[in-house]
Amino acid sequence: MLCTFALLGSSATLERSNKKKAQPNKEFSMSSQVSSARSVRPPASQDSIAVDVRNHIGHLTLNRPEGLNAIDLDMVRTLRQQLDRWADDPSVHAVVLRGAGGKAFCAGGDIRSLYESHQNGQDLHHTFFAEEYELDLAIHRYRKPVLALMDGLVLGGGMGLVQGADLRVVTERSRLGMPEAAIGYFPDVGGSYFLSRLPGELGTWLGVTGSQIGAADAMY
């Protein structure tokens, strides 16, 4: 399945991810992570990644709502650096990933900057993909619980970010997909791994059509 937790109206059902790694007890109150509880300290950044800690939970918010939170190289590096800091911080017990703006968790990579890099003979696109994949792998191997709030669009690189999370949350507004096929690209960010493990031919269909699915199908 592509998610492990659904927030649909006032009801919710929970299923653990099958993520394989040795970790301490990961039970913690969902109320402080999922709700918009008042922060005990203000966000540390108003840039493209907002960093915040409250109730011993580290919050990383993709903060480019005007671009549907598409990630660029600076965002990838900020996410990785902050995760590395929190990995050794005993005051941070878990991490929550989310997107700002209400329309998207993450619509994928910033294709425009990658295209311009290629057109200008630069190698930004090579560096971006290498570091993006390293970030995705780091989330898979992270020693502390990671929860991904997949509200709105979760496409391409956004799917890569959440696959390593221990808990993946969808809502009634969630739309998941791998749209790379529409631009002649293959499903990257580990798509050949997680799509091939979906029931039936759902993964093949998502990979070759670029179609999007909602919360109910993501729970399948």
Taking each helix axis from N to C end, the angle separating 111-119 and 124-140, rounded to the nearest 10 degrees, works out to 140
pLDDT value of residue 173: 96
Lowest-confidence range among 16-30, 84-98, 101-115?
A: 16-30
94 close to 58: Cβ distance less than 8 angstroms = yes
CATH number at residue 109: 3.90.226.10
Q: In this structure, is residue 4 part of a structural domain?
A: no
Q: Which of 99, 108, 109, 158 is catalytic?
A: 109
Q: What is the distance between the alpha carbons of residues 72 and 107, in angstroms, rounded to a whole number?
A: 11
**pTM for the structure as a whole:** 0.78
Q: Is-catalytic flag, 158?
A: no
Which comes out higher in pLDDT, residue 140 or 111? 140
Q: Per-residue DSSP letters for 43-69?
A: -S--SSEEEEEETTEEEEEE--GGGTT
Task: Express each pLDDT in 183-205 by its tens digit.
Answer: 788 888 988 889 888 888 888 89
Contacts of 75 (CB under 8 A, 6+ apart): 48, 49, 62, 64
Alpha helices in the chain (DSSP H): 30-34, 73-87, 111-119, 124-140, 157-163, 191-194, 202-209, 215-218
Which candidate, 83, 89, 107, 64, places its Cα nearest to that of 165? Answer: 83
Predicted confidence band at 45 (pLDDT cuts at 50, 70, 90)? very low
* Look-up of token digits 């209400």: 102
pLDDT value of residue 5: 56
pLDDT value of residue 121: 80
The residues pairing with 8 across neighbouring beta strands, listed in sequence order, are: 11
Spacing of C-alpha 150 from chain mean position: 7
Q: Which residues form the domain of 112?
A: 45-218
Which comes out higher in pLDDT, residue 7 or 151? 151
Q: In this structure, is residue 152 part of a structural domain?
A: yes
Q: Which of 152, 180, 203, 210 is catalytic?
A: 180
With a cut of 90, say whether residue 141 has pLDDT above it.
yes
Q: Is-catalytic flag, 72?
A: no
Q: Which of 72, 132, 188, 217 is catalytic?
A: 188
* Pairing mode, strands 167-171 and 175-177: unpaired
Q: In this structure, is residue 189 part of a structural domain?
A: yes
State the total domains in the chain.
1
Q: Is-catalytic flag, 188?
A: yes
Q: In this structure, is residue 6 part of a structural domain?
A: no
Predicted confidence band at 136 (pLDDT cuts at 50, 70, 90)? very high
Q: In this structure, is residue 25 part of a structural domain?
A: no
